[in-house]
């Protein structure tokens, strides 16, 4: 019998009925098995990264980042669905039907944000057990400046990954956050704004922290969702991470893929990668103009290093292709990365000095909770072994360094006693001492506020903004805020309210206008004693602000002169008489016709000539 005959046998009336039924049942069973195998194969395919990245979602940014990640061999569904049973997986995947519709009609959001990531206990912790203890790890971070020489700075530090449990004495370091119950409220979908944090210890005691700059009302707290912190609150970009141009260029130069010898190559790379482009093609065309820049501006260098410049151009294009996707509104800044605190707030979302208890204690901001104090070495130098030993090793700190507000308070606590451990106290950012660490003091952290909840009585602006805290505080948290604590006035200088003449910017330009006679006075006299001859009267008394000034201090503002000045009194002009002295003046001026002004009461014979110059003319 031919194969066709065998296939049609269940329907051939010449075949006995019993055999036909048997053949129908067997055929149906084989068909069901075939359909089942097909569905299993289809199910496995729809769970594959290739299907997710190139067929279903067609996501060039996510697919590119996935293939460059540490998890490039972990299936997408392991994180987005979780390592759950088949029935649970079918239930979860069925909720994603809307994605297919949005793909068909090209109506999906741009950029794409994840909305269905499973909790870490169903994903990360299936491979990464949180009770495991991780050793501290040494890191060497290379950074090249955007200058002509692409100057190298190398930072050394140790990351305190930590882990374990407190009962074994190992509940510390970065992984402390998942070994303890930490709840938080986020006011945005990307969880970048966290105004409320609550920690629950092993005994059930709670400590609540509020952002004093953006506090929530009790009604808002009661109504808000409380998130229990887990792995993905920090490791949120462990797969789809778009590296910053700064980092990508540093790595390319460090690995020799881009020649450090090319002048300004770091700067030019940043300019090309960070420029706004409407389309992918526009960006590629702009990057391809890089060799023309060196031909025009560095012709001799380009003549000898054309291949290096061409190689750098190719690498910068490659960086762009894995970092920017203009058509999908995706760039390296689109999705915040919560690991660290350099490019995005990250750790500083909570550890920013602004989250405080009702008693004024902040969430600890100590740098060495998660890593040691960095050691920075400039190009051509290496840190001394002693420096690495003292700065990188996890030495036990004094009790005072463990205070909740130590990072804010250490600024004015610094004194000679610190030199025992840290060497000479020399503030700055030139890396010549422990306190002049450019990784700390030479870097701006805009989301950190060490003065949160405390209003400085003197505005830290102008010249006050550049003063080190310890220079005024002298080890005291709340000193008496008077200018004389820091400013020694010159000999003979005024006392009293310095703000009459001075501001944090400098000497007031209008300070002279504070005093009626700040400009030249129409007298040849000088000195407080002589001034008081006339100005002790009630008519034109000495201002109260002048109390305690000396003879010499008058001339600091008042310049004696006999020149006629606008606004001077009539008596200040020379008189047309050869006589002099009060007695002679009163011969005529005691009459009602031209009486002595009331302001002259009590003056002596000699005082008349101080203002009135006898003349026979």
Query: What does 290-330 look like in DSSP terms, one character per residue?
Result: HHHHHHHH-HHHHHHHHHHHHHHHHHHHHHHHTT-BGGGTB
Supply the pLDDT for residue 434. Answer: 82
- 31 contact partners, CB below 8 Å, separation of at least 6: none
pLDDT level of residue 6 (50, 70, 90 thresholds): low
567 pLDDT more than 50: no
d(CA 549, CA 560): 17
- 549 contact partners, CB below 8 Å, separation of at least 6: 494, 495, 528
pLDDT digits (tens, 9 = 90+) for 260-310: 999 999 999 999 999 999 888 999 999 999 999 999 999 999 999 999 999
When pLDDT is averaged across residues 7-20 and rounded to a whole number, the result is 67
pLDDT level of residue 23 (50, 70, 90 thresholds): low
Supply the pLDDT for residue 413. Answer: 81
pLDDT digits (tens, 9 = 90+) for 198-208: 999 878 899 99
CA-only gyration radius of the chain, Å: 40
Q: Which helix (H) or strand (E) holds 100?
A: helix 97-104
pLDDT digits (tens, 9 = 90+) for 152-167: 999 988 888 876 665 4
Residue 20, SS3 per DSSP = helix
d(CA 202, CA 100): 46
* Alpha carbon separation from 411 to 427, 433, 435, 476 (Å, rounded): 10, 16, 10, 10
pLDDT level of residue 192 (50, 70, 90 thresholds): very high
Environment class of 245 (CB within 10 Å of its CB; exposed 0-12, middle 13-18, buried 19+): buried
Q: For residues 376 and 154, is the Cβ–Cβ distance under 8 A?
A: yes
pLDDT digits (tens, 9 = 90+) for 439-463: 888 788 889 998 887 777 777 787 7
Question: The tokens of 348 are what?
Answer: 């500083």
Question: The tokens of 240 are what?
Answer: 């789809």
When pLDDT is averaged across residues 596-605 and rounded to a whole number, the result is 69
Measured at the CA of 457, the angle between CA 454 and CA 463, to 5 degrees, comes to 110
Measured at the CA of 208, the angle between CA 205 and CA 214, to 5 degrees, comes to 175
Supply the pLDDT for residue 92. Answer: 81
Q: For residues 478 and 520, is the Cβ–Cβ distance under 8 A?
A: no
> Which of the residue ranges 109-123, 350-364, 381-395, 436-450 has the most confident prediction, judged by mean pLDDT?
350-364
In 3D space, the residue among 451, 438, 469, 430 whose CA is nearest the CA of residue 373 turns out to be 438
Q: For residues 353 and 365, is the Cβ–Cβ distance under 8 A?
A: yes
User: Would you give the DSSP letter of residue 42?
Assistant: H
When pLDDT is averaged across residues 537-545 and rounded to a whole number, the result is 65
- pTM for this one? 0.71
d(CA 159, CA 152): 22
């Amino acid at each position: 019998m031919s194969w066709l005959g065998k296939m049609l046998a269940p329907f051939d009336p010449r075949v006995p009925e019993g055999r036909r039924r048997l053949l129908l049942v067997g055929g149906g069973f084989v068909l069901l098995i075939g359909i089942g195998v097909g569905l299993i194969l289809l199910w496995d395919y729809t769970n594959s990264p290739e299907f997710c990245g190139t067929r279903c979602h067609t996501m060039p940014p996510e697919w590119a980042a996935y293939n460059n990640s540490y998890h490039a061999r972990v299936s997408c569904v392991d994180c987005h669905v979780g390592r759950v049973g088949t029935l649970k997986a079918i239930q979860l995947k069925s909720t994603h039907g809307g994605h297919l519709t949005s793909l068909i009609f090209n109506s999906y959001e741009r950029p794409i944000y994840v909305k269905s990531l499973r909790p870490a206990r169903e994903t990360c912790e299936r491979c990464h057990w949180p009770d495991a203890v991780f050793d501290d790890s040494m890191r060497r971070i290379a950074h090249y400046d955007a200058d002509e020489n692409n100057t190298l700075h190398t930072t050394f530090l140790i990351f305190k990954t930590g882990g374990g449990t407190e009962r074994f004495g190992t509940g510390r370091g970065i992984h402390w956050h998942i070994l303890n119950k930490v709840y938080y409220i986020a006011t945005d979908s990307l969880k970048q704004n966290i105004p409320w944090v609550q920690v629950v210890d092993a005994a059930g005691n709670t400590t609540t922290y509020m952002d004093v700059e953006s506090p929530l009302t009790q009604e808002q707290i009661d109504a808000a969702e409380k998130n229990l912190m887990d792995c993905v609150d920090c490791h949120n970009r462990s797969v789809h991470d778009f590296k910053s141009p700064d980092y990508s260029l540093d790595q390319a130069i460090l690995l020799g893929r881009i020649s450090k010898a090319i002048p300004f190559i770091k700067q030019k790379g940043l300019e090309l990668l960070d420029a706004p482009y409407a389309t992918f093609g526009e960006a590629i065309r702009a990057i391809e103009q890089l060799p023309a820049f060196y031909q025009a501006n560095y012709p001799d260098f380009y003549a000898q290093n054309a291949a290096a410049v061409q190689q750098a151009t190719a690498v910068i294009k490659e960086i762009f292709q894995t970092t920017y996707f203009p058509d999908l509104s995706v760039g390296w800044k689109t999705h915040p990365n919560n690991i660290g605190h350099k490019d995005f707030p990250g750790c500083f979302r909570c550890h920013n000095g602004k989250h405080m208890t009702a008693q004024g204690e902040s969430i600890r901001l100590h740098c060495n909770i998660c890593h040691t104090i960095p050691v920075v070495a400039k190009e051509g130098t290496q840190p001394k072994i002693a420096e690495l030993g003292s700065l990188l090793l996890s030495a036990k700190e004094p009790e005072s360094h463990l205070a909740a507000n130590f990072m804010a308070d250490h600024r004015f606590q610094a004194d000679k006693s610190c030199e025992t451990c840290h060497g000479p106290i020399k503030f700055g950012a030139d890396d010549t001492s422990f306190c002049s660490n450019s990784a700390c003091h030479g870097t701006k952290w805009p989301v950190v506020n060490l003065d949160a909840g405390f209003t400085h009585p003197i505005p830290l602006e102008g010249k006050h903004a550049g003063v080190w805290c310890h220079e005024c505080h002298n080890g005291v948290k709340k000193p008496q805020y008077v200018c004389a604590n820091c400013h020694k006035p010159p000999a003979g200088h005024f006392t009293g309210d310095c703000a009459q003449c001075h501001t944090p910017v400098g000497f007031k330009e209008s300070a002279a206008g504070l005093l009626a006679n700040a400009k030249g006075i129409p007298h040849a006299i000088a000195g407080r004693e002589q001034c008081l001859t006339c100005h002790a009267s009630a008519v034109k008394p000495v201002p109260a602000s002048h109390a305690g000034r000396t003879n010499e201090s008058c001339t600091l503002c008042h310049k004696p002169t006999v020149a006629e000045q606008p606004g001077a009194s009539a008596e200040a002009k020379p008189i047309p008489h050869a006589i002099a002295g009060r007695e002679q003046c009163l011969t005529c001026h005691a009459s009602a016709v031209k009486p002595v002004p009331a302001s002259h009461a009590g003056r002596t014979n000699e005082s008349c000539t101080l203002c009135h110059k006898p003349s026979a003319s």
